[in-house]
Amino acid sequence: MKSFMFISILKAGFLLVCILRFPAFCEDLQTVTFLPQWTHQAQFAGYYVAVQKGFYQKRGIDLRMLPGGPDSPPADMLIRRKTDFTTLFLSDAIMLRSKGVDLVNVAQIGQKSGFILVARKSSHIFSPKDLNGKRISLWSDFQIQPQAFFRLHQIQVTTVPQTYTINLFLQGGVDAACAMWYNEYHTLLNSGVNADELTTFFFDQYGLNFPEDGVYCMREMLNKNDRTCRNFVDASLEGWRYAFDHPNEAIDIVMIYVQEAHIGTNRVHQQWMLDRIRDISLINGSSDSMGILSKDDYQTVAQEVKAGGMIDNIPNFNEFYAPCLDDSL
């Protein structure tokens, strides 16, 4: 109840700031909905910051943040017009576009893949070839990248389903497991596993860079509301830049959303997540490329999705990617 009152007071305060500082924008705010692809966490810190700092409001947007998670599949919500914008992994978006879903990428936030395989050195796994014949747990929704990795190194593995936890790996049920560098990997460290006990395979270091979180909307939305799309992207990027420049304040804001949603986590884990999201979103520490989708990365992902039998034809890059970026930022 206290957290609800706190966040309500904050929202009211920021609306008052908006009215006082940006009266022209606040006279006729346009309601826009946004769905993060998962439950509240620092993976989406830039959007929360943009809300709380008034970045959307000053661009004429009243942003309604929808609750993400397993009950709100982002692609389904977008297709059914239940949200104006959502975040998706690039590989998922390419498959949807290939199947005729007329979505567009309006900004690519993640520039490098945070998806890794982790293995114990005690299992004598030090290089890709050491995975040959091993048991590896994979998430059902994210198999394209590891399968491409196995093909690249010509190794055969036994795959088993991986749930939302890393427990099977911790209990010794598999030799290697999937992990996000910004999430499950840190969970392993917090579970008492030392970093030097692990062998990590970062897919982007093996020529398989699959940029992940991008911002998507339906083409219909873009065609009818081009300026709104640009305003949304500009405000979101401003939120991300502010979050990376003011990490402590950003985590304060993240924790408001986390606590309001009663999510079991802690500040230390969310700080780790924000730091790693920064690593995969900024190239050499610069935000200059944030928001831009590399054509080379797109082709790498699309070709591997096709090689994996998930699509028959690669969608045209120029039809898939419609950047809504302000060059002055």
Residue 157 tokens read as 């593995």
The predicted model scores a pTM of 0.89
Spans of the chain, pLDDT less than 70 = 1-27, 327-329
- DSSP structure string for 242-285: HHHHSHHHHHHHHHHHHHHTT----HHHHHHHHHHHHHHHSBTT
What pLDDT does 285 receive?
A: 86
pLDDT in tens, 131-140: 999 999 999 8
Closest alpha carbon to 139 in 215, 76, 70: 70
What pLDDT does 286 receive?
A: 87
Q: Which residues pair with 161 in a beta bridge?
A: 138
Cα distances from 41 to residues 51, 255, 261, in angstroms, run 15, 8, 10
Fold of 115-206: D-Maltodextrin-Binding Protein; domain 2 (3.40.190)
Residue 19 identity (one-letter amino acid): I
Instruction: Say yes or no: do domains 2-112+211-320 and 115-206 share a fold.
Output: yes
Q: Where are the domains of the chain?
A: 2-112+211-320, 115-206
- Total Cβ atoms within 10 A of residue 271: 18
Distance, in Å, from the CA atom of 78 to the CA atom of 35, rounded to the nearest integer, reads 9
CATH of domain 2-112+211-320: 3.40.190.10
What pLDDT does 327 receive?
A: 59
pLDDT in tens, 234-243: 999 999 999 9
